[in-house]
Amino acid sequence: MEAINALHFFPTSKPNRSSLPTSKLYLKPAQNLLKQPNIHRVVSITTPEPSPMLDQNHRPINITTNSNPCNDQLQEKIQESVTAYWDYQFLFVSQRAETVEPVQLQVVEGEVPSDFPPGTYYLTGPGIFSDDHGSTVHPLDGHGYLRAFKIDGDVQYSAKYIKTDAQKEECNSETGEWTFTYRGPFSVLRGGKKFGNTKVMKNVANTSVLKWGGKLLCLWEGGDPYEIDIENGHLDTVGIFDLINRHHLQPEDVSPGGVNQISEDAKEVSGDGGGGFWDFASGVVKPILHGIFKMPPKRLLSHYKIDPTLDRLLTVSCNAEDMLIPRSSFTFYEFDSNFKLLQKQEFDIPEHMMNHDWAFTETHYVLFGNRIKLDVPGSMLAVCGLSPMITALSVNPNKPTSPIYVLPRFPDKVKSNRDWTTPVEAPSQMWVLHAGNAFELTDQRGNLEIQIHAAICSYKWFNFHKMFGYNWKTGKLDPSFMNARNGQENTLPHLVKVS
Ligand SMILES: [Fe+2]
């Protein structure tokens, strides 16, 4: 998840507050907020019960009654687990109030560093998880809630929902009542129409926020960004900012040195790339996704990059049908500081991949080949509305390695004859979630070395059906739901179920 709510500082009941992380800032009195100050929680929180713990070998220890002998160390573990469980719940507290007029946060511990760079810092992330009709959605389907922290010695805070089309449809602006009608790709709604409910994709602008070219944009993985008015200081939503299609590259638009075409070389693929059949399948699937499920032909990935050396904004899109067919088409865009498109390149890769993040260096783009496949039983359930649409996919462990594609950023300047269609195969099954950084070094023999810093997890540990602990059968969020339970994963890190 990209962010947590800023208003999570008010636990309504246990655990022991001394065991919780200390918040350093809090809001001034609630009269500054809109009505509905009640905190609506995703789950009904009860006192956690002691339950499976792990021993030193990461094997579960069952603690079933209070009469079991517990030593101090074990009690400490329980306390830590209880705290972890509660922390998890606080990550997903719905926030119905908006803070339209900025309020000053008070420092309750420590101080704001005097050399803290002044400015306004923005944060977006899901703000609402439960509606007023019994539906709980996956955190990734929570409507984007934009927060601004204006820091200049003091800290001024304001927050508002991004008024996306879906938000305006699902939230009554007069009463504040929420009624979820879109399933979202990760959620199941309670009641309502299941089979044939094509309202799947909802752009909630909750994945990342970007200030560039005098504009503030809230992005979503799957559609266009929403622009926010930063002139009036009230976080008002301007509307969709069509980053991809508003720019049709024209020769006169190209800056000197820019690459003004989609590289024909880059469109070549190793092998046959699926060839004619997948072209046919793509032609069948594309109008269905666009016409019925309202998916844009190209969808942005969540994460953008800034190249400070060239002062460029870099983004990537992939094709909507890439989710369903075993090949992927990625288009990389580079904009100047005024959103002028300087270059774009398309790379067709004969793999069924799912990418949330990526990386770049001075001369290359880096894509991590997270391998996926269609899950036929999951697809059937998803189409019937009995499981989230994402259950139509699963991680594909059919190869023991993980491909990393190193793609030429400036093909015209490439000196080596390296074939980009051949990936570097990392020696284990690693699902790459986020890339922290990537950079180039030259070794003693003059060879290019690219170092990548990324957050990864084992394919065994990554499960589309259990992400974030969202249990669509119960509508609850439980971190232990993510535990691997097939008997062979005792050495994996385990979250501990305490309730
Ligand atoms: Fe992310």
Q: What separation in Å is there between the alpha carbon of 208 and the centre of ligand 1?
A: 7
Task: Please report the pLDDT score of residue 270 as a whole number.
Answer: 35
CA distances from 433 to 19, 331, 349 (A): 30, 19, 19
Q: For residue 120, what is the enclosing H or E element?
A: strand 119-123
Quick one: 408 and 489 in the same domain? yes
231 inside domain: yes
Q: What separation in Å is there between the alpha carbon of 87 and the centre of ligand 1?
A: 20
Positions of E strands within 320-471: 328-335, 341-349, 359-360, 364-368, 372-374, 393-395, 402-408, 424-426, 430-442, 448-458, 470-471
Residues 18 and 83: beta-carbon distance below 8 Å: no
Quick one: 338 and 236 in the same domain? no
Quick one: 217 and 309 in the same domain? no
Q: Compute the radius of gyration of the chain from its Cα atoms.
A: 24
Q: Is 356 annotated as a binding residue?
A: yes
Q: What separation in Å is there between the alpha carbon of 356 and the centre of ligand 1?
A: 6
Task: Please report the pLDDT score of residue 289 as a whole number.
Answer: 67
Q: What separation in Å is there between the alpha carbon of 340 and the centre of ligand 1?
A: 25
Quick one: 221 and 325 in the same domain? no
233 inside domain: yes
Q: What separation in Å is there between the alpha carbon of 437 and the centre of ligand 1?
A: 14
- Segments forming the whole domain that contains residue 5: 1-9+92-241
Q: What separation in Å is there between the alpha carbon of 304 and the centre of ligand 1?
A: 10
Q: Residue 481: left (phi > 0), alpha (psi -120 to 50), or beta?
A: alpha
Indicate the SS3 state at residue 378. helix
Quick one: 447 and 323 in the same domain? yes
Quick one: 233 and 336 in the same domain? no
330 inside domain: yes
Task: Please report the pLDDT score of residue 3 as a whole number.
Answer: 33
50 inside domain: no
Q: What separation in Å is there between the alpha carbon of 318 and the centre of ligand 1?
A: 16
- Domain boundary (192, 207, 241) is at 241
Quick one: 206 and 354 in the same domain? no
Q: What separation in Å is there between the alpha carbon of 431 and the centre of ligand 1?
A: 13
Task: Please report the pLDDT score of residue 104 as a whole number.
Answer: 95
Quick one: 327 and 201 in the same domain? no
77 inside domain: no
Task: Please report the pLDDT score of residue 376 as a whole number.
Answer: 85
Q: What separation in Å is there between the alpha carbon of 287 and the centre of ligand 1?
A: 28
- Domain boundary (173, 207, 241) is at 241
Q: Is 434 annotated as a binding residue?
A: yes
Quick one: 345 and 210 in the same domain? no
Q: Residue 257: left (phi > 0), alpha (psi -120 to 50), or beta?
A: left
b/e map 371-397, b = 16+ CB within 10 Å: bbeebeebbebbeebebbbbbbbbbbe
- Domain boundary (209, 241, 273) is at 241
139 inside domain: yes
Q: What separation in Å is there between the alpha carbon of 449 and the centre of ligand 1?
A: 26
Q: What's the N-to-C CA distance of the chain in angstroms? A: 23
Residues 436 and 369: beta-carbon distance below 8 Å: no
b/e map 470-497, b = 16+ CB within 10 Å: bbbeebebbbbbbbbeeeeeeeeebbbb
Quick one: 330 and 228 in the same domain? no
Rounded to whole angstroms, the Cα distance separating 416 from 334 reads: 23
Q: For ligand 1, a single-atom ion, which residues have Cβ within 5 Å?
A: 302
pTM score, two decimals?
0.77
Please give the tally of structural domains in the chain.
Answer: 2
| CA dihedral over 10, 12, 13, 14, signed as positive or negative | negative
276 inside domain: no
Q: Give pLDDT tens digits along the chain (499 positions).
A: 333 332 222 222 333 333 333 334 544 433 333 333 333 333 222 223 333 344 444 333 333 334 444 567 666 666 666 666 677 777 788 999 999 999 999 988 888 888 999 999 999 999 999 999 989 899 999 999 999 999 998 899 999 999 999 999 999 999 999 999 888 888 888 876 666 667 778 899 999 999 999 999 999 988 899 999 988 889 999 999 988 876 544 444 443 333 333 334 333 333 344 567 667 667 666 666 666 666 777 888 889 999 999 999 999 998 877 777 778 889 999 999 999 999 999 999 988 999 999 999 999 999 999 999 988 888 888 877 788 888 888 899 999 999 999 999 998 877 777 889 999 998 888 899 899 999 999 988 888 899 999 998 888 878 888 888 888 888 777 777 776 555 554 544 455 444 3
Quick one: 405 and 482 in the same domain? yes
411 inside domain: yes
Quick one: 214 and 107 in the same domain? yes
